[in-house]
Structure 1
């Protein structure tokens, strides 16, 4: 007997949505060659917010499949860099065609703060996570929770699920208990 495993639409939809959310919510639409024209001392920062170096943050060490067991069994994180972020994603292992898939991603943005987040159609909702400035960005296929790390950097927690409300609930809980406590204060 031969068993063929084909990804179902219920699995592929969240994966494709995660890729779309990560790219759309994070692109600035600016083309060209980057160049340093401003000295660090003259760079603008917001009052009360320091510049925090996020270059040493590894998104694949921010969580493990064990951190996500409440939502199912997840495969180990896979590193991916896209849309201006260093990222890692965890895919829920789907056992049946009727089971809903979830993809959870973490993206570190070294030069884009919370105020640089883009609306992907569901609005930008300012929130706080464990006292940290954040913005929730819902979409029909999930949610992004952008956590501020200083004035000019952030960590995005992207949840591709079957609906925005569910995605934002998962993002908030994972951010509060797993991701935010690992971020530098700024």
Structure 2
């Protein structure tokens, strides 16, 4: 019964974290970051490419192989979903954490509102990235947003089932981002 209660508590948190970087329809309020219209600028280090088309050919649930899942601490297969107009996949490590990988073929890093929480620019493999976490909230959530060309991104969102230990959530998000990154255009 306790595991079922934890799962019921985890699902809303995963949905909130998964919304990080996702498009929010006008007039709706979002707890996590949301996409803003382009200001015409590109994220530093992102090169023009056919990334949206290449990203469209990827299956988000195929981005983590069985070996990748094992090294990330995930034992179950991912479940496909849609967040706004973006394709995504959810994985869970029961009673531990959940991760969502979202493929956004319409919004590059420069289009994402990353004004909530602490931003840390980083490079993951060959891709520019931004780590986003609210360390003051210590809610056990963290996202790593990878830029894919000018107008696409891949968002890795992690939520710990304890709703605590944000640094651990960031370590997990960075690990998953590192596993996904080599498969990106």
TM-score by length of 2: 0.75
Aligned residues: 161
Runs of at least 5 residues in structure 1 that lack an aligned partner in the other structure = 32-43, 95-100
Partner of 2:34: none
1:170 to 158, 169, 172: 172
Runs of at least 5 residues in structure 2 that lack an aligned partner in the other structure = 28-39
23 and 73 in structure 1: CA distance in 2 versus 1, 3 angstrom threshold: closer
TM-score by length of 1: 0.74
CA apart distance, 1:155 = 0.6
Q: Where in structure 2 are the equivalents of 1:18-167 lying within 5 Å?
A: 18-30=14-26, 46=42, 49-51=47-49, 52=51, 53=53, 54-94=55-95, 101-119=96-114, 121-139=116-134, 140-161=139-160, 162-167=164-169
CA apart distance, 1:118 = 2.4
Partner of 1:38: none
Q: Where in structure 2 are the equivalents of 1:7-22 lying within 5 Å?
A: 7-9=4-6, 11-22=7-18
Q: Residues of 2 paired with 1:118 and 1:45: CA distance?
A: 13
Q: Residues of 1 paired with 2:114 and 2:11: CA distance?
A: 20
CA apart distance, 1:24 = 4.6
Contact 2:158 2:170 in 1 (8 A): yes
Q: Residues of 2 paired with 1:13 and 1:125: CA distance?
A: 28
CA apart distance, 1:14 = 3.7
Q: Residues of 2 paired with 1:19 and 1:120: CA distance?
A: 19
Contact 2:107 2:153 in 1 (8 A): yes
45 and 122 in structure 1: CA distance in 2 versus 1, 3 angstrom threshold: closer
Stretch deviating more after TM superposition (113-122 or 162-171): 113-122
Stretch deviating more after TM superposition (83-92 or 59-68): 59-68
> What is the aligned-residue RMSD (CA, Å)?
2.5
Contact 1:65 1:75 in 2 (8 A): no
SS of residue paired to 1:124: strand
